[in-house]
Amino acid sequence: MTETLTSGEARLQAQAAPEGEIAAATHTLVIGPYLARGAYGAGTGQAAPTRSVEARLDEATGLAAAIELDVVESLAISLPRIRPSTYLGKGRVEEIAGLIRAREIGLVVMDCALSPVQQRNLEKAWGAKVIDRTGLILEIFGRRASTREGTLQVEHAHLAYQKSRLVRSWTHLERQRGGFGFLGGPGETQIEADRRMIQERMTRIERDLDAVVRTRGLHRQSRARVPYPIVALVGYTNAGKSSLFNTLTRAEVVAKDMLFATLDPTARATKLPHGETVILSDTVGFISDLPTPLIAAFRATLEDAIEADVLLHVRDVAHVDSEAQAEDVGEVLRELGIETSADRIIEVWNKADLLDDDERTRLLNLSGQGKARNDRDSAAPVLVSALTGEGLAALTSRIEARIGRNRASFAVTLPPEDGAALNWLYENAEILDRRAEADGTLHLAVRIAPEKEPRFLNRFAAARRLGRGG
């Protein structure tokens, strides 16, 4: 069913929808206006970044490329301080204005958070459209979202962003509406009416999201009746999560060398080598300085990660800023209230195929792969390549061990005629070992999840406990 917008909503949508304007602005300049090292600290409200200026600018350029903008130039600017009116100093603004004219640039991406006043003043000075990091990420999310929930979350985040910037559209107008109060009361200004209209739309979206969440909750309850462990992949954007997900599940999730190629969560049931069925969940990639409204908006898409039995923290170890990216992921997980204890997380060092021999040897030594100390239950990282399959056997073995750590193992003996009991075990337990006698009697070693243990013991009262873990 197509939703009908009021004339006011349509006008607001036209004012705020950046996609058409951005698509037309093919010549793009990416600017990284970064505070100088000594400028961070007290008074700025910002901590010094862990990543290099070059890496931050490369990432901003990659974000622009993710929506196929034609980046004709990118430049980093070291700032002694942030100017309230234009973010940059007057001389820099004038210098960039000349560059914009010379290169016929129609869009400037500022890799920072601009206030509405700063954005308006820069657009006026440069005669070009200006968007900040939040606006760019919203644009990417808007193009990537495909599920109903993802689309609603993006629209909600975009409306919140738009609501905070209404002053930009109406500073040159002081229109007021009189009237009888049907549209918000006598003397309501246009900006107040627009803000109210946006809030009403956000409220409707929140109701729709509640319905989506309830539906997903019903699906989760259905899954809980035959509960499988959840293994969620998390990691920095473009770390190779979707490629690894595809390799482990033989699914066809979009896997491109592109920031935010995966936005909506995807889950698949898959069997591990020893027969354990797990739900493997791919999630949206994280990124440094992700705008707070987006973290809140996409928390729902990370519910599988929040509830996961095991988190696979996928890292691109071939990336120059792999360590800083890992810190960013950990920070976002903590902001979302997701437990990040070593017992729950397995670090997956991906893209081993891109390493030279010396670096590969160094990381193999660090991970301990192939050494006695790197047993199935080790907390050491696992070096893999989703592309070549290197290290995947070690990874699945580690997942099995981590899942089995809190599961009890039992010895069960079944008479040959009890096929129903055997079927129950195959559907509800992990079969660790099976041995048959000549008369058909079966001796099984099984591992059972904690939530299924009471039902198991009720059915197999003679089962002998072997212990917990692998």
Question: What would the pLDDT profile of 142-174 be if each residue is shown by its tens digit?
Answer: 877 777 877 888 888 889 888 888 754 444 444
pLDDT in the model for residue 220: 64
User: What whole-number distance in Å separates Cα of residue 131 and Cα of residue 140?
Assistant: 12
pLDDT in the model for residue 128: 94
Work out the average pLDDT over 382-393.
93
Residue-wise pLDDT for 236-253, tens only, equals: 988 999 899 989 887 554
Q: In whole angstroms, how far apart are CA 364 and each of 10, 324, 326?
A: 57, 20, 18
- Best-predicted range by mean pLDDT among 62-76, 98-112, 419-433? 98-112
pLDDT at 353 over 90: yes
Q: In whole angstroms, how far apart are CA 108 and each of 25, 260, 355, 418?
A: 9, 21, 35, 72
- Helix (H) and strand (E) counts in the chain: 17, 16
Q: What is the DSSP string of 425-466?
A: HHHHSEEEEEEE-TTS-EEEEEEE-GGGHHHHHHH-TT-EEE
pLDDT band at 281 (very low <50, low <70, confident <90, very high): confident
Burial class (CB in 10 A: 0-12, 13-18, 19+), 330: middle
Please name the residues in contact with 371: beta carbons below 8 A apart, sequence gap of 6 or more.
none
Amino acid at 290: L
Structural domains of the chain ordered from first start: 7-141 (3.40.50.11060), 146-213 (no CATH), 228-404 (3.40.50.300), 408-468 (3.30.70.240)
User: What whole-number distance in Å separates Cα of residue 267 and Cα of residue 283?
Assistant: 9
Q: How far apart are the first and last CA of the chain?
A: 52
Looking at per-residue pLDDT, the higher value among 470 and 306 belongs to 306
pLDDT in the model for residue 348: 96
Amino acid at 188: E
Q: Please state, as a whole number, how many other Cβ atoms lie within 10 Å of the Cβ of residue 126.
A: 21
Predicted structure pTM score: 0.71
